[in-house]
Structure 1
Amino acid sequence: MPGVPDIRPRATWEALAQDPSATLIDVRTDAEWNFVGLPDIAETGKQLLLIPWQVYPSMQVNGAFAEHLRKAGLTAESRLYFICRSGVRSLAAGQAAQAAGFPHAFNVADGFEGPPDAEGHRGQVAGWKAEGLPWRQR
Structure 2
Amino acid sequence: MSYAGDLSPQEAWEKLEAGAILVDVRTESEWAHIGIPDTKGTENDPLFIQWNLTGGIPNSHFIEQLKQQAPEADGTELVFLCRSGVRSIAAANAATEAGFVSYNVLEGFEGAPDQYGERSVNGWKNRGLPTNLGKN
**CA offsets per residue over residues 10-30 of structure 1, 9 Å max, x none?**
111111112x3x100000000
CA contact (8 A) 1:114 1:128 kept: yes
Pairwise CA RMSD of aligned residues?
1.3
Matches of 2:125 and 2:70, distance apart in 1: 28
Tell me the distance in 2 between the aligned counterparts of 1:114 and 1:4. Answer: 21
On the 8 A contact 2:2/2:93 being kept in 1, the answer is no
The residue that corresponds to 1:8 in the other structure is: 8
**Within the alignment, does 1:132 sit opposite 2:128 as a pair?**
yes
Indicate which of 103, 106, 110 corresponds to 1:106. Answer: 103
What does residue range 55-134 of structure 1 map to in structure 2 within 5 Å? 55-57=53-55, 59-76=56-73, 77-102=75-100, 104-122=101-119, 124-134=120-130
Match of 1:30 in 2: 28
Cα distance in 1 between the residues matched to 2:117 and 2:49: 27
Question: How big is each residue's C-alpha offset from its partner over 1:78-129, in whole Å with a ceiling of 9 and x where there is no partner?
Answer: 2010000000000000011111221x1100001000110111100x211101
Question: C-alpha distance in 2, partners of 1:45/1:4?
Answer: 21
What residue ranges of structure 2 are gaps of 5+ in the alignment? none
Map Cα deviations across residues 62-89 of structure 1 (whole Å, 9 max, x no partner).
1111111111142221201000000000
Between the aligned partners of 1:73 and 1:8, the Cα distance in structure 2 is 22
The residue identity in structure 2 corresponding to 1:112 is F
- TM-score, normalisation: structure 2: 0.92
Q: Normalized against structure 1, the TM-score is what?
A: 0.90
